[in-house]
Amino acid sequence: MNGESQKPLWPRATLAALTGLNLFNYLDRFVLSAVTSPIQQEFGLSEGQLGRLNTAFMLGYFVTSPFFGYLGDRAPRRWLVVAGIIVWSLGTVSTGLALTLGGMLVARAFVGLGEASYATVSPAWIADLFPKAKRNNALTIFYVAIPVGAALGVGLGGVVAEHQGWRTAFFWAGGPGLLLALLTLLLREPPRGASDSEPVAAKPAARDYLQLLHLPDYLLVVGGYTAYTFALGAFGYWGPRYLVVVHGMGNEKAALFFGGTLAVAGLFGTFIGGFAATAWQRRNPAGYAWILGLSVCAAAPVAAVAFLTHSTPLAMTCLAGAMLLLFLSTGPVNTLILETVPVNMRACAMAGSIFCIHLLGDFWSPEIVGHLADGMHSLRRAVMILPLALAVATVLWVWLALRTKRQYPVTA
């Protein structure tokens, strides 16, 4: 026990390792988006059934997140992370082995379960490694893995599926995670609240988590994040197929464009938004919230143009612009989730956010878009629900910014 406690914390190395693992987290999640067309052809699925594959993943993801949030405020986080990586990697490989739609749904649910453990616990671990002034930048780096991992999943998945079959894409995506899980065993996690000046209260009881329902700032962050995730989840799932169905692009070309654009726009958007929010927050206590509100406010009309135009070049340009704007909020939204709650409830706050944004957000949105497309006989019309969701996020996050401005007025 003493030897373990004397091990250095290595904040930067730990951040690098957790970020790398987060990349594979999203790679395994998004590889499915690149292979929906060949899966549809092999299994004879409707658009709605294709959307259900994502619903199964989300069911495993958000339903189990409160359980991992409860454990994340109590148990050793390192072992929770290792278990999550192993489960999601095995689930990804099993997706490629599935012979029926039912088998694939079960495999995707296990991918979600494993990722729930990792996504709930890792941000709180990072928050305890870095002080408040550096925390948002650290979390921004961690969440840069979202667009890069998603892009690799979509881009590489499309290429591998084209040349080696869609099943092989899942084998390449899931296999490395089993080895990378061993990296986490070399790390030592900090005590909870180690980077905060305020004293850490005792481990909260289950009933203490009801306090989260009485924290207006937390509720506004999560409410806006839910509407945002509704839009972004369906946007990411249907993006490549939208280009195939509406604009007649080939599956591989659409996957490469969407994956490459997602990587570049997501990388720059996450970095720009995260570091700009840190600089703004130093001068204005509402800096994080203003980045959230203004970014989705700008993204909504750009996304609408992307879906309404009949010009393929303009649609591609606006899709890229919308992605860039949407990723501006990635770092600060997660920082606010952690900083609007007591220190000893961070893992559960993250779990509560995951539960809400998926139960009311992208758990339904890909399948809703699929069913709307079936009913309207038009994918173009169906995706217009997504800019409306971004407008709802704008209202809630601007409300948060104005509330924060009133609570903490800027002094000269």
| CA–CA–CA angle 359, 101, 31 (5° rounding) | 65
Annotate 8-19 with b (16+ C-beta within 10 A) or e (fewer): eeebeebbebbb
Residue 200 belongs to some domain of the structure: no
Residue 198's pLDDT is 65
**Domain residue limits at 101:** 7-191+208-407
Q: What is the CATH number of the domain that holds 350?
A: 1.20.1250.20
Average pLDDT for residues 298-305, to the nearest whole number? Answer: 95
pLDDT at residue 412, rounded to an integer = 43
Q: Which of 151, 337, 169 is nearest to 257 (CA)?
A: 151
Stretch 237-245: mean pLDDT, rounded?
83
- Taken as a whole, the chain contains a residue count of 412
Number of domains in the chain: 1
User: In this structure, what DSSP letter does residue 329 have?
Assistant: G
Cα distance between the two ends of the chain: 50
Please report the DSSP string for 192-249 in residue order: TTTT-SSPPPPPPPGGGGGGGGG-HHHHHHHHHHHHHHHHHHHHHHHHHHHHHHHH--
Burial (Cβ within 10 Å: 0-12, 13-18, ≥19) of residue 406: exposed
Q: What is the pLDDT of residues 5-51, one digit of tens each?
A: 555 568 888 898 899 889 888 888 888 877 888 888 888 877 777 77
Does 160 reside within a domain? yes
198 within domain boundaries: no
pLDDT digits (tens, 9 = 90+) for 345-393: 888 899 899 899 988 988 788 888 888 888 887 888 888 889 999 999 9
The answer to whether residue 236 is domain-embedded is yes
Residue 199 lies in a domain: no
Q: Are 353 and 340 in contact (CB under 8 A)?
A: no
Q: Does residue 290 lie in a domain region?
A: yes
Q: Is residue 203 part of a domain?
A: no
* DSSP secondary structure letter of residue 360: I
Q: Average pLDDT, stretch 233-242?
A: 82
The answer to whether position 144 is within a domain reads yes
